């Protein structure tokens, strides 16, 4: 009676209950190659396939030996039967029958090949097997299946590695969707009672098998996945741990989410567009606490420009705080409370709807011309300053004028009287008075006396506020000109504006004499150069004061930069102001370029006679002559007629000189 060989360690246990390390050791003892990187499921399949192949080879060898040596069957039959499971015995018997059939088929095929072979071919006798040569065993179907399983396992490992190198976020999203799909499947099963019974039996059988495996391995039992999904669906929402780690995926860094019940209130203001942000200034031209934030997308979508008067809707109340996620993996969160309430929608732009505002022309593309329409300043006989300006330096629509004045020469009073005269004689003109770095009392006086828009930034504010006010004011004027309106901007003063830009603008590295940065002179020149008379309607008139004789080299450099840029100049004299002769206008040095486009030709001839007369007199005598004549007449027309009657000899002499020439 032969002894049964001892079983290898671990082979008596089921493969499903063995650990991965034990399975790898068993595979190595069986001679399997490439199993160190296999997963447990793949390794189990490979071991089972190898065992099946070994059993098939053993059965084949046994049948061959029986055919060659019938006596071997006696010893084989003497081996006692092992006490095995009836199911396992039936399965082995079926495999043996299949193997015998395949061997019989092989013998028949071999006989057919031998019968069809030629006579000269050498024949292989079955007696050659007794020579002791070990022929290679033919590959059975089970072995081929094992090799195919191993190749499929290798391909699966490669796919898993590629998947791990893929997008992790997509896998996480798929993971979060699986419970929903299971729940949806459970709902569909509940609707169909027939399916529900079969699924329940399957789940119960699966649970029983998992409990049996847990008892054999000594581990805790685990419920099937279907039951865990159902139990998680029955739990309250606040007790479940959310699967989605990115809880703010759709709104990571944007504005706060809308509330369910939101109340919209109307809002209006002037739009200021910056390099990184835009705001609707609701309390004037300076930043305030009630300003409205406008996103860059809304500016682009609605065709908004700096200086637009925008009306729209905003949510009532303070802006809601929102969470901003930072870091490489969006794990760091920070609570953000917006300083300004964002605008909800835009209603009108400069009194027009949004679509009409998109079709307006661009100010930079408008054609500039010389002033052709006179802005008459004469109002009453006793208002001498506007009458003097009309005579010596007439102003037209689209004029770019400088009022050059030393300190304490009355430039602010002159500017105030010009503003009042324009408001009286030209009510269709939009008047804007921009006061930069001025005294607060002068700002109050200007607001109470001028019937127009007063935009001020006093000297106690930082230089950045001065520049913001000036830029927003000139942009507002440009937007009005694009609509075909006539705008007059009175700036006091352009010298102080240049100082503010010298302090607020970034340093360029090129410093002029007096400590003036070369880059600080460009923004004031851009402000002053915006004045123009536009072809086919609209004009922008700018009258700016410039300080001279202050003893500052910086003021001299700034004035020299603007000296030749204007087409009208009104000079005030320190000597006349010290003698208390007002308005202290230097009538001989003041003038307007191309004044023939503004004044009637008959009046122009008389004015040229007066200028020849002024050239032979000093400042005080010339001004006193003009003021005395103006006091005696009720209007400038009457003054010019009186001058023409009193200077006939000069006119005749001039005609004779002109004839000889």
- Judge whether 55 is annotated as a binding position: no
- Judge whether 401 is annotated as a binding position: yes
Burial class (CB in 10 A: 0-12, 13-18, 19+), 6: exposed
- Helices marked H in 563-618: 574-578, 601-615
- 471-491 pLDDT tens trace: 999 999 999 999 999 999 999
CATH topology assigned to domain 263-317+339-359: OB fold (Dihydrolipoamide Acetyltransferase, E2P) (2.40.50)
- Judge whether 288 is annotated as a binding position: no
- Judge whether 444 is annotated as a binding position: no
Distance CA 66, CA 319 (A): 94
Residue 239, token pair as written in the block: 């007790």
Instruction: Please state the length of the chain.
Output: 661
Q: What is the DSSP string of 176-234?
A: HHHHHHHHHHHHHHHH-HHHHHHHHHHHHHHHHHHHHHHHHHT------HHHHHHHHHH
**Mean per-residue pLDDT pooled into runs of 10, the chain (661 residues):** 42 72 83 76 82 74 51 39 47 58 51 44 38 45 67 73 59 52 50 60 77 73 60 51 52 52 87 89 90 92 94 80 57 63 92 93 94 94 94 96 94 94 95 96 95 94 95 96 96 94 87 90 95 93 95 93 92 94 94 93 91 89 93 93 74 47 43
- Judge whether 357 is annotated as a binding position: no
> Which 8-state DSSP code applies to residue 126?
G
CATH topology assigned to domain 368-654: Rossmann fold (3.40.50)
- Judge whether 563 is annotated as a binding position: no
pTM: 0.60
Domains in the chain: boundaries: 263-317+339-359, 368-654
Residue 518, token pair as written in the block: 């070369």
pLDDT for residue 459? 95
Distance CA 451, CA 421 (A): 10
Q: How far is CA 655 from the centre of its chain?
A: 73
In 394-492 the beta strands, taken as DSSP E runs, fall at: 400-405, 430-438, 453-458, 486-492
- Judge whether 398 is annotated as a binding position: yes
8 A C-beta contact, residue 249 and residue 282: no
Distance CA 244, CA 10 (A): 43
Q: Which residues contact 110 (CB under 8 A, 6 or more apart)?
A: none
8 A C-beta contact, residue 438 and residue 604: no
- 88-114 pLDDT tens trace: 555 555 665 665 555 555 544 544 444
Pairing of strands 400-405, 568-571: parallel
pLDDT for residue 377? 95
Q: Which residues contact 35 (CB under 8 A, 6 or more apart)?
A: 24, 27, 28, 43, 46
Strand partners, 434: 455, 491
| Interhelix angle 522-529/463-482, nearest 10 degrees | 30
pLDDT for residue 209? 78
- Judge whether 396 is annotated as a binding position: yes
Cis peptide before 583 (omega within 30 of 0): yes
pLDDT for residue 392? 94
In 332-414 the beta strands, taken as DSSP E runs, fall at: 332-336, 341-349, 368-369, 400-405
Distance CA 499, CA 456 (A): 16
- H/E element, 314: strand 309-315
Encode 268-310 in three state secondary structure: EEEEEECCCCEEEECCCCCCCCCCEEECHHHHHHCCCCCCCEE
- Judge whether 409 is annotated as a binding position: yes
């Amino acid at each position: 009676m032969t002894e049964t060989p001892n079983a290898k360690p671990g082979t008596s246990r089921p493969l499903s209950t063995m650990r991965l390390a034990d399975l790898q050791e068993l595979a190595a003892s069986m001679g399997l190659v490439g199993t160190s990187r296999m997963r447990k499921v793949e390794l189990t399949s490979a071991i089972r396939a190898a065992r099946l192949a070994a059993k098939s080879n053993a059965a084949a060898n046994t049948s061959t030996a029986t055919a060659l040596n019938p006596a071997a069957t006696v010893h084989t039959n003497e081996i006692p039967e092992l006490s095995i499971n009836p199911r396992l015995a039936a399965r082995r018997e079926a495999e043996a029958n299949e193997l015998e059939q395949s061997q019989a088929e092989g013998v028949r095929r071999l006989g057919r090949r031998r019968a069809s072979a030629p006579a000269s071919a050498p024949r292989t006798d079955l007696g050659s097997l007794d020579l002791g040569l070990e022929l290679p065993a033919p590959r059975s179907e089970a072995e081929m299946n094992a090799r195919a399983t191993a190749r499929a396992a290798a391909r699966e490992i490669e796919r898993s590695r590629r998947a791990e190198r893929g997008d992790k976020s997509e896998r996480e999203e798929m993971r979060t969707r699986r419970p929903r799909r299971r729940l949806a499947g459970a709902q569909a099963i509940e609707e169909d009672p027939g399916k529900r019974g079969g699924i329940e039996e399957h789940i119960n059988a699966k649970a029983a098998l998992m409990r049996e495996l847990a008892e054999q391995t000594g581990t805790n039992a685990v419920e099937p996945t279907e039951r865990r999904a159902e139990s998680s669906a029955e739990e309250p929402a606040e007790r479940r741990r959310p699967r989605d780690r990115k809880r703010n995926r759709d709104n990571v860094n944007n504005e706060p989410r809308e509330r369910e019940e939101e109340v919209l209130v109307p809002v209006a203001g002037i739009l200021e567009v910056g390099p990184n942000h835009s705001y609707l200034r609701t309390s004037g031209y300076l930043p305030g606490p009630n300003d409205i934030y406008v996103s860059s997308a809304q500016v682009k979508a609605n065709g908004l420009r700096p200086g637009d008067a925008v009306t729209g809707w905003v949510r009532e109340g303070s802006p809601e705080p929102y969470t901003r996620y930072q870091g490489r993996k969006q794990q760091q969160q920070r609570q953000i409370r917006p300083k300004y309430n964002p605008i909800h929608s835009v209603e009108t732009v400069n009194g027009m709807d949004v679509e009409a505002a998109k079709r307006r022309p661009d100010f930079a593309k408008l054609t500039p011309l010389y002033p052709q329409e006179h802005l008459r300043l004469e109002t009453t006989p006793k208002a001498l300053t506007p009458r003097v300006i009309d005579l010596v330096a007439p102003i037209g629509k689209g004029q770019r004028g400088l009022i050059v004045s030393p300190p304490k020469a009355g430039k602010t009073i002159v500017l105030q009287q010009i503003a009042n005269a324009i408001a009286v004689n030209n009510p269709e003109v939009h008047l804007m008075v921009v006061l930069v770095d001025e005294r607060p009392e002068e700002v109050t006086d200007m607001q109470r006396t001028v019937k127009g828009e007063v935009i001020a930034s006093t000297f106690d504010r930082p230089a950045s506020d001065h520049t913001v006010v000036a830029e927003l004011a000139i942009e507002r004027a440009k937007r009005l000109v694009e609509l075909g309106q006539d705008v007059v901007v009175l700036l006091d003063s352009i010298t102080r504006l240049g100082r503010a830009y010298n302090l607020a603008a970034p340093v360029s590295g090129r410093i002029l004499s007096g400590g003036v940065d070369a880059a600080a002179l460009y923004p004031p020149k851009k402000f002053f150069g915006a004045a123009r008379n536009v072809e086919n309607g609209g004009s922008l008139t700018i009258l700016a004061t410039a300080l001279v004789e202050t003893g500052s080299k910086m003021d001299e450099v700034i004035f020299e930069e603007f000296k030749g840029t204007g087409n009208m100049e009104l000079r005030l004299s320190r000597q006349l102001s010290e003698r208390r002769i007002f308005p202290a206008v230097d009538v001989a040095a003041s003038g307007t370029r191309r004044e023939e486009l503004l004044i009637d030709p008959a009046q122009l001839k008389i004015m040229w006679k007066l200028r020849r007369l002024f050239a032979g007199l000093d400042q005080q005598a010339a001004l006193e002559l003009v003021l005395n004549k103006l006091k005696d007449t009720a209007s400038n027309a009457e003054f010019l007629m009186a001058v023409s009657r009193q200077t006939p000899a000069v006119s005749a002499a001039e005609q004779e000189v002109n004839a000889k020439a």
